[in-house]
Structure 1
Amino acid sequence: MVLTLADGTKKEIDLTKFVNTFTSTATISMSMNDRVVMAEIIDGSVTMAKLDASIQTEFRQYMLDAQAARDAALQYQKFAKRYAIGDTDFEGSEIDNAKYYYEQSKTNAVTSTTNATAAAASAETATTQAAIATTKATNATAAANSASGDAQIASEKATTATQQATLATTKAQQASASEVTATTKAIEAADSASQSKRWAVGGVMSGDEDDNSEYYCQQAKNYAQMAQEVTDVIYPDIFIEIGTGHLHAEGGNNFSVSLDENGHLISAIGGSAA
């Protein structure tokens, strides 16, 4: 600024001494609006050194915590891989991971399906055997009834034989008492004795070997034994072992289960389940 005095003298005044210069930095942005000077912190420009000591300490702890979390995340990432598909850093993980067990599950599912089919077939066989057992039980009941009927017939034949023996004795006595009729009575006595034998044990006439007291007694015994065998039957539990596919029968009494050379299931009364 040039100032001219009254005597014409000029004075030059440097006005820069009256003007403040504001310069922006990497941290602070300076601006003026209508002679108003403003300073604004630039986003992301404040460094740790510019923060309060307590805030610096807190931030450093946050950084340490973040680093620890990062390290843990990396470790968990390895564990995730180890348990998902296996990792060479973990010994034995190649057969102890989700992928391995998934493959095992698929294999076992196929095996289970096969075994289930076999089990269903076994169950069908068991059902058939149960039906056979029911039939045999019915037959045993019929046999018991037949035994009872044959025993009754045997008793009747025995009674007839006794009557014929009594008649033979009477005829013999009559033969002794009457000399006139001795021959006739003796013949009649012999005939009665023969009839007594016929009804008791047979062997007198054709066909009497299965029509006498002894025969019917034996039949009654056979049917009674058959009924007893069926009565003593306890059916075993028949199943297929999933691991080996073998047919098993456990428990039971007086009932046997086996496979013939063609692989057919054979069951029979008598023996124990194996």
Structure 2
Amino acid sequence: MRGLTTTGNPGRNERRRSYDRSRTTRDALIATAERLFAERGLDAVSLREIAAAAGSHNTGAAQYHFGDKERLLEAIFEHRATVLNARRSTLLARATGQATIQATILATVEAIVRPLAELVGHGKYVSFLARLQADHARDHRIRRPESGMDATFRQARDILRHALPTLPEAVFRRRFNLAMRMAIAALADYERAHATETQPDAAAHCATDPTGHDPGGPPSDEELHDLVTDLTEAMSGMLAAPSSRTTTRTVRSGEGRPPAAGTPRADCQSGDDGKPCSTPPGQLPDRP
């Protein structure tokens, strides 16, 4: 009819705009928290500082959206989990089709490392992980296996465990933990060095860019390839190296009896692919 205009539901439109503003604020808080935690440490940054650095006029915004620091740390993981799991799932599909054990190990380790390396230049997530890695108590409190945030990481770990059945359980667990710590520390060092080399005043830039994106951009394809290759080969070598622990002493203690691939255990969690794993819950290495 003439004289009438279609404006939709004003109340619904306003609620949508309010939701969008809230979501934008929340995302800015997560990105800012990731950067500040990475740069200064988990205990050196308050929720009020994060809200102010994110550009919020309400210094209580972080507390409003997340409640406390532990929940904010979980939110950073959740924010990154979708991309990491999708990328790693694609790479793991290739890993399971390899013709040899050695190729399977290399491809599986690459599936763990490459998604993290590809985040360099797109925030400070790897440096954030390095900070969290050093805080064992907080890391264990935050980790929630039932959330599925690191499902593909656990799947990759299980593939590696089945590919190395002669390693005693304790040896595999220790080596995997060491390999992951080495990878995260190395990637964090590279992330910091890359930002400094490509943009000497990167710190000043980050102060005005809450997202913490590297002003120099991500590393080149060649740099990324070299970084991932070096880490993949080093980690694979560490995992697959012969062990002197497969002796009478370790066999007698029970460590030298590795589980057969595909053998379920009552104290074990399985991956998303439904295959039984061999690492007891509560003894999982630090996750990415």
Superposition TM-score tier, normalisation by shorter sequence? under 0.3
More helix by share: 2
User: Does 1 or 2 have the higher relative contact order (CA < 8 Å, sep 6+)?
Assistant: 2
